């Protein structure tokens, strides 16, 4: 769990007759990350060739994605069954499946087009309704034409016999048709529509025998009638939209089983073809190459031997620590943390994949991240809100969105950390309900500390955050030493900024700074001790440039000493300023905690003022509304800020000491591959 998994590379030669059996076994086990066969001489390459799959992988992938797209419209996510017959791929008729997929897609496309049409019409009618409702008084053709060039209002009459024709033709156009009266031969209407439909509207009105007339004194009434008419249309359109959504789900559900069955067979054949794309064949044999976790070697070897009846040649190669060359660069990295750590492993992977054979910082990140979050966002009540929100999000998203679920789990952890911090500092939605287990954070910020803790001022809180930062940076330096030892990079171990000399300089500097603080900033340690603590490591840093120069077998010139001197000066400046800024950067942990307490104090003061001041009436609804709004704002803004700052300190102050994100994630081809 502390280090990445050990990997081993397999070079295998099997008989061509066993190709399918070996492929099926490798797919069943799903533990090998294949790599292109290398190390073949030009003469040997003439006798080897690629294996051509029976079906083009690109067409298989396209058909699979089409099925996934169709199923997603019904809320279904296909997956491989727990038990599967790997020979089922032989039943695949890709041409027939593609034809059937297109037929289903065409049915769905018809429904989608109707849905798009309904959504557009609803949007346009809602826009007209909003414009009329906003300016319902004084509505007339003149006011609309001058204020809103995109809305048109027409007043006129048509022969009564043409009324059904007009109403039918206007159904497909976003509009409101309001009757104004009818006599024996004609019917009057007010028509509200979008001006962009003007030409189509004019054609319909002409066909219906529309004659322009006038209406007076009906501005507000017309507006109200138009709004009511449009609301009826919106209700009818929403009903149509619901029916279409139901139709879409029913259509997908109708074909679900057959589509999932086709997806399984297509995916199976696609994985099978992907594996064989890494194979090389000769007249009688097949060669392949790939990486497997060391603990899976025995099972893989047994499976291949059984698939071939023992007629195979297997050669295993373990990469050496610190090995240079293609092997060291392309060894895949497997992080082997329990699922409990998945949110924090996500944070590590977002920064990068660690080099093969180095420390996986996930467990330590969990500790540092949660400690920092607890110090910056310490409140039992607000932490409980975060905890509950994370649990609800985890249940809601389930297995549909793994990254979102990991984020939700991270919120759960942060909520728990916040609850612990709130208990330590005695904060319950900003109120001191119980005695703090450590010290009264809010009381210190407000100038009225509670309890007998020796921590009674802000400067002591800042000091705590600095000491915490020193521990985190020190852990990063020690991690770097372990990595350099495992990779046998002795020169970097000794002289790198995070190496032995760099750590010596950092801890010596910490002692000197502590000594000065305890002596009132008036005294340094003795000169001999000062030289041992910071002077000697600074001088040893000078050796880095000439030793690296010699190791690379570069020629020395008269300018070389000056170059080494300049590099040394720059290195010292970077070392001093870097470690100083890294350490002081952790003061933001205390700063965010102080800001969190200050905001809650401010909101309680605003609530008191809204309640009428200190001499005001008993608690009013305004008092509780202000506190509710304040807590919601603090949870949203301060919670996000604390999470970001904890992540930033891990990435830039901790990871920068040891983490080299140049690794390649282990991604074997298996039945669960995505």
Span 438-452, mean pLDDT?
A: 79
Residue with the bigger pLDDT between 483 and 221: it is: 483
pLDDT grade for 419, boundaries at 50, 70 and 90:
very high
Cβ-contact 454, 462 below 8 angstroms: no
Span 319-331, mean pLDDT?
A: 61
217 has pLDDT over 50: no
Residue with the bigger pLDDT between 220 and 85: it is: 85
328 has pLDDT over 60: no
Question: Which two tokens mark 178?
Answer: 């309001």
* Distance from the first to the final alpha carbon of the chain: 25
**DSSP letter, residue 638:** I
pLDDT grade for 382, boundaries at 50, 70 and 90:
very high
Taking the C-alpha atoms of residue 621 and residue 380, their distance in angstroms, rounded to an integer, is 24
Span 407-432, mean pLDDT?
A: 94
Angle (deg, nearest 10), helices 500-518 and 560-584? 50
Closest CA to 429 of 381, 367, 375: 381
Give me the DSSP letters along 196-236.
GGHHHHHHHHHHHT-EE----S-HHHHHHHHHHHHHHHHHH
558 has pLDDT over 50: yes
Amino acid 136: pLDDT: 46
pLDDT digits (tens, 9 = 90+) for 311-321: 999 999 988 76
Span 158-178, mean pLDDT?
A: 82
pLDDT grade for 137, boundaries at 50, 70 and 90:
very low
4 has pLDDT over 60: yes
pLDDT digits (tens, 9 = 90+) for 400-415: 677 788 999 999 999 9
Amino acid 400: pLDDT: 64
User: CA triplet 57, 59, 65: central angle to 5 degrees?
Assistant: 100
pLDDT grade for 613, boundaries at 50, 70 and 90:
low
Taking the C-alpha atoms of residue 175 and residue 531, their distance in angstroms, rounded to an integer, is 88
Cβ-contact 532, 503 below 8 angstroms: no
Span 264-279, mean pLDDT?
A: 90
Q: Say which CATH topology domain 119-240 has.
A: Alpha-Beta Plaits (3.30.70)
Question: Which two tokens mark 60?
Answer: 């298989």
Highest-scoring range by mean pLDDT, 107-111, 146-150, 648-652 = 648-652
H or E segment to which residue 193 belongs: strand 186-194
Q: In whole angstroms, how far apart are CA 49 and each of 11, 280, 283, 322, 665?
A: 17, 5, 9, 34, 28
Cβ-contact 12, 312 below 8 angstroms: yes
Taking the C-alpha atoms of residue 162 and residue 170, their distance in angstroms, rounded to an integer, is 12
Highest-scoring range by mean pLDDT, 196-200, 221-225, 242-246, 648-652 = 648-652
Residue with the bigger pLDDT between 226 and 174: it is: 174
Domain ranges in the chain with CATH number 3.30.70.2750: 119-240
pLDDT digits (tens, 9 = 90+) for 460-516: 899 999 999 999 999 999 999 999 998 888 888 998 889 999 999 999 999 999 999
Residue with the bigger pLDDT between 38 and 110: it is: 110
User: What contacts 111, CB < 8 A, 6 or more positions away?
Assistant: 244, 247, 248, 251
Residue with the bigger pLDDT between 387 and 43: it is: 387
612 has pLDDT over 50: yes
Cβ-contact 359, 658 below 8 angstroms: yes
Amino acid 133: pLDDT: 63
Amino acid 215: pLDDT: 53
Taking the C-alpha atoms of residue 338 and residue 409, their distance in angstroms, rounded to an integer, is 14
420 has pLDDT over 90: yes
Amino acid 117: pLDDT: 84
327 has pLDDT over 50: no
Amino acid 222: pLDDT: 57
Amino acid 185: pLDDT: 84
Taking the C-alpha atoms of residue 250 and residue 243, their distance in angstroms, rounded to an integer, is 10
Architecture of the CATH domain 7-51+277-333: 2-Layer Sandwich (3.30)
Span 341-367, mean pLDDT?
A: 93
Span 264-285, mean pLDDT?
A: 89
219 has pLDDT over 50: no
Taking the C-alpha atoms of residue 371 and residue 362, their distance in angstroms, rounded to an integer, is 14
Taking the C-alpha atoms of residue 450 and residue 461, their distance in angstroms, rounded to an integer, is 15
141 has pLDDT over 90: no
Amino acid 134: pLDDT: 58
Closest CA to 262 of 71, 457, 509: 71
Amino acid 479: pLDDT: 96
52 has pLDDT over 70: yes
154 has pLDDT over 90: no
Q: How many CA atoms lie within 13 A of 452 on its CB side?
A: 0
Rounded to two decimals, the pTM is 0.79
Taking the C-alpha atoms of residue 409 and residue 290, their distance in angstroms, rounded to an integer, is 34
Question: Which two tokens mark 650?
Answer: 């891990």
Specify the range with the lowest mean pLDDT, choosing from 47-61, 276-290, 353-367, 520-534.
Answer: 47-61
Amino acid 315: pLDDT: 92
Question: Which two tokens mark 427?
Answer: 């904060």
Cβ-contact 422, 385 below 8 angstroms: no
325 has pLDDT over 60: no
Closest CA to 588 of 635, 521, 650, 672: 650
Amino acid 195: pLDDT: 77
pLDDT grade for 617, boundaries at 50, 70 and 90:
low
Taking the C-alpha atoms of residue 641 and residue 628, their distance in angstroms, rounded to an integer, is 20
Question: Which two tokens mark 489?
Answer: 């990079």
Question: Which two tokens mark 631?
Answer: 């807590």
Taking the C-alpha atoms of residue 662 and residue 642, their distance in angstroms, rounded to an integer, is 28
Question: Which two tokens mark 445?
Answer: 């910020």
Q: List beta partners, residue 431.
A: 428
Taking the C-alpha atoms of residue 34 and residue 18, their distance in angstroms, rounded to an integer, is 18
Domain ranges in the chain with CATH number 3.30.70.120: 7-51+277-333
């Amino acid at each position: 769990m502390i280090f990445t998994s050990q990997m081993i590379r397999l070079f295998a030669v099997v008989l061509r007759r066993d190709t399918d059996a070996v492929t099926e076994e490798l797919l069943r086990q799903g533990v090998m990350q294949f790599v292109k066969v290398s190390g073949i001489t030009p003469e040997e390459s003439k006798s080897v060739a690629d294996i051509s799959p029976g079906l083009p992988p690109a067409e298989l992938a396209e058909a699979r994605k089409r099925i996934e797209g169709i199923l997603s419209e019904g809320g279904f996510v296909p997956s491989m069954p727990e038990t599967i017959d790997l020979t089922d791929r032989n039943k695949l008729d890709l041409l027939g499946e593609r034809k059937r997929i297109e037929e289903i897609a065409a049915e769905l496309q018809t429904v989608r087009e109707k849905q798009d049409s309904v959504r557009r019409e609803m949007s346009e009618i809602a826009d007209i309704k909003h414009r009329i409702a906003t300016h319902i008084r004084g509505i007339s053709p003149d006011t609309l034409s001058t204020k809103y060039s995109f809305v048109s209002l027409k007043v006129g009459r048509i022969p009564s016999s043409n009324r059904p024709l007009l109403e039918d033709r206007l159904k497909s156009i976003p509009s409101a048709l309001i009757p104004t009266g009818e006599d024996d031969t004609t019917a009057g209407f007010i028509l509200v529509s979008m001006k962009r439909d003007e030409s189509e509207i004019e054609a319909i009105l002409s066909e219906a025998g529309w004659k322009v007339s006038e209406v007076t004194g009906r501005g507000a009434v017309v507006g109200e009638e138009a709004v009511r008419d449009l609301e009826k249309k919106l209700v009818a359109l929403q009903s149509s939209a619901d029916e279409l959504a139901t139709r879409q789900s029913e259509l997908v559900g109708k074909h679900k089983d057959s589509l999932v069955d086709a997806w399984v067979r297509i995916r199976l054949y696609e994985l099978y073809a992907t594996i064989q794309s890494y194979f090389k064949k000769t007249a009688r044999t097949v060669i392949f190459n790939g990486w497997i976790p060391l603990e899976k070697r025995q099972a893989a070897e047994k499976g291949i031997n059984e698939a071939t009846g023992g007629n195979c040649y297997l050669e295993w190669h373990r990469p050496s620590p610190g090995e240079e060359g293609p092997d060291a660069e392309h060894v895949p990295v497997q992080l082997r943390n329990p699922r409990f750590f998945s949110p924090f492993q996500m944070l590590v992977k977002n920064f990068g994949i660690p080099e093969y054979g180095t420390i996986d910082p996930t467990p330590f990140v969990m500790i540092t991240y949660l400690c920092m979050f607890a110090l910056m966002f310490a409140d039992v009540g607000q932490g409980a809100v975060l905890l509950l929100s994370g649990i609800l999000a985890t249940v809601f998203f389930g297995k549909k969105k793994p990254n979102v679920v990991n984020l939700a789990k991270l919120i759960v952890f942060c909520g728990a950390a916040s609850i612990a911090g709130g208990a330590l500092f005695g904060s319950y939605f900003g109120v001191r309900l119980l005695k703090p287990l450590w010290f009264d954070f809010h009381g210190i910020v407000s100038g009225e500390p509670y309890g007998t803790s020796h921590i009674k001022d802000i400067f002591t809180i800042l000091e705590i955050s600095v000491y915490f930062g020193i521990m985190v940076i020190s852990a990063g330096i020690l991690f770097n030493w372990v990595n350099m030892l495992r990779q046998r990079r002795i020169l970097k171990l000794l002289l790198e900024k995070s190496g032995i000399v760099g750590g010596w300089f950092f801890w010596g500097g910490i002692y000197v700074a502590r000594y000065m603080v305890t002596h009132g900033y008036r005294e340094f340690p003795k000169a001999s001790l000062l030289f041992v603590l910071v002077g000697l490591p600074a001088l040893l840093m000078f050796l880095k440039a000439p030793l690296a120069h010699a190791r690379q077998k570069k020629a020395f010139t008269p300018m070389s000493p000056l170059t080494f001197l300049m590099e040394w000066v720059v290195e010292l400046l970077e070392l001093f300023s870097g470690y100083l800024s890294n350490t002081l950067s952790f003061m933001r942990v205390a700063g965010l905690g102080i800001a969190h307490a200050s905001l809650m104090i401010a909101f309680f003061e605003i609530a008191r003022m809204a309640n009428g001041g200190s001499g005001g009436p008993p608690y009013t609804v305004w008092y509780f509304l202000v506190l509710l709004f304040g807590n919601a704002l603090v949870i949203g803004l301060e919670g996000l800020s604390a999470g970001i700052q904890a992540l930033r300190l891990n990435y830039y102050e901790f990871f920068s000491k040891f983490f080299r994100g140049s690794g390649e994630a282990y991604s074997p081809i298996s039945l669960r591959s995505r």
